[in-house]
Structure 1
């Protein structure tokens, strides 16, 4: 469905473990959608447990896109995601369906919703190498502190373990004498789509308990074996994919840097912090209709509320 001027786009976002998967499937069935994954980690093949990747059974026949499209040694960028999304949105509309982005990677989703312009500021491989060596010598926190000095807003958004993006933010400042955060703030944020964005939220302490239960489940499902297999295939901790939550912690355990108890404690803590950063990002986005799904027993009530929001936005001309 499209308006007279813009194609429609549905979006469901929220922090990890809030319950996006089940809700997205039911919404997709009702509105005739194809789902585009808005998760920067689920693009990687062989990385299933640690990314909480949806299974074929869970898809219930709903087409899903941008899952399992890269091997772990190929980096994936927001610009690539944006380009692929724009193409997919057109193709999905061409099939008479509604495109539906579902995920928790804020920058990726926002870049599509508002048509961010990514300027090619180039690269300085010598500068990158210098920053990597600095991090190896003094630690990830010291490198992150460098970013705090020149771009505190980006430093607050980026975790110190996300070295690729920390170095890229430093590189942008090095090459342009402007900051990544300033470039982001300069975006017009006018959407090329008729948007219906739903955000799922819940009581913070309940969300944290769900996160910890999910991690326990990942361990039971074989996360350690998944990481071990990836390492045996030559995918080492220097790769961006292997720096993802769940992977870097297990690698540290396998290499003897952490005890098992320390590994689980760290993974749960870092995932809670990740969810907090996700919510912080989303809170700065516009056009989101928030739905509190704290009471998971009231799924049908939550679903009905979301249905009414979407129907009012996208289907008013047909109902």
Structure 2
């Protein structure tokens, strides 16, 4: 790294966007070229063993670029946005100390916001909060989960299970009005048809990579009711394994699930006025110019 790079506080480069938008491959390309390290901001890839179904970057893809935020806990363990903030803040500081550029990359909006707005988290498990939840209908509880980027439990029509999931995932958040200094946030904007094609291609690749075998292994090891197994494609594959749906239906439901996830992610991310939205090509050009000036001032 050039000495000029060390004379200023290295900015945090944030690349976000919906699932299958191409943000991970872009971040890897830029990190390799400009001396960066990547922190994955994804609420599913924090789990060990869940590699294929979460579209975790492969060992080959990670080659040449240090990746952080992967395989932090087992699927049965809880890992909150507050946990991620504590972890990622420490990693960002250490990456800067090594003279490298920190990249925060992912589509979990609460993880991203917790860092760039410097959230202060406090648990909300008091009795009054539970009474409020118990007074809501199951439909309103579902809407609450969607609006707050929370995963529904497998038994999503059991009110007690849904309330427990909300209590686990809810924090009382205090945030700053503006993002932290030395932070550049880019969102990957993708046309609907293109995103559908990318989601379809990724689903096909998951199946080629034997995601059904992975799901079977995870279900047997951790149980299908494990919180980590209630999201992503795993519940759909469970239905296929149990003979409730056929293969074709499973594939279509997996595609639809990822499209719905992308929609929820965009609903969350669009609330942030500090994100600069652009397509993959424009994002690469824009960030390359910024990073080139940092490395060679």
TM-score range, shorter chain: 0.7 to 0.9
Q: Deviations over 1:224-276 (max 9, x none)?
A: 0001111222x122111101211111112222333323222222111101111
Answer yes or no: is the 8 Å Cα contact 2:38–2:102 preserved in 1: yes
CA distance in 1, matches of 2:151, 2:41: 22
Q: Is it true that 1:36 corresponds to 2:24 in the alignment?
A: no
Q: 1:96 to 1:35 in 2, by over 3 A?
A: same
Q: 1:117 to 1:291 in 2, by over 3 A?
A: same
Q: Is it true that 1:89 corresponds to 2:92 in the alignment?
A: yes
Q: 1:38 to 1:275 in 2, by over 3 A?
A: same
Q: Deviations over 1:52-86 (max 9, x none)?
A: 11112111311101111211111211000000011
TM value normalised by structure 2: 0.83
Partner of 1:109: 112
Answer yes or no: is the 8 Å Cα contact 1:3–1:194 preserved in 2: no
Partner of 1:190: 178
- In structure 2, which of residues 131, 142, 147 is the aligned counterpart of residue 156 of structure 1? 147
Partner of 2:56: 53
What is the aligned residue count?
285
CA distance in 2, matches of 1:123, 1:254: 39
- In structure 1, which of residues 267, 288, 312 is the aligned counterpart of residue 275 of structure 2? 288
Unaligned residue ranges in structure 1 (runs of 5+): 132-141, 173-179, 294-298
**Displacement of 1:216:** 1.3
Give the structure, 1 or 2, with the largest relative contact order (CA under 8 Å, sep 6 or more): 2
Q: Is it true that 1:270 corresponds to 2:251 in the alignment?
A: no
Q: 1:23 to 1:244 in 2, by over 3 A?
A: same
Q: 1:146 to 1:104 in 2, by over 3 A?
A: closer
Determine helix, strand or coil for the equivalent of 1:118.
Answer: strand
CA distance in 2, matches of 1:147, 1:65: 32
> What are the residue-to-residue correspondences of 1:1-319 with 2, within 5 Å?
8-122=11-125, 143-146=138-141, 148=143, 155-158=146-149, 161=152, 167=163, 171=167, 187-233=175-221, 235-293=222-280, 303-310=284-291, 315=294, 319=297
Q: Deviations over 1:281-301 (max 9, x none)?
A: 1111132222213xxxxx5x6
TM value normalised by structure 1: 0.78
Q: Deviations over 1:202-227 (max 9, x none)?
A: 11111111101110111111010001
User: Superposition RMSD on alpha carbons, in Å?
Assistant: 3.2
**258-267 or 219-228, which moves further after superposition?**
258-267
Answer yes or no: is the 8 Å Cα contact 1:34–1:100 preserved in 2: yes
CA distance in 2, matches of 1:80, 1:144: 29
CA distance in 2, matches of 1:167, 1:49: 29
Answer yes or no: is the 8 Å Cα contact 1:116–1:189 preserved in 2: no
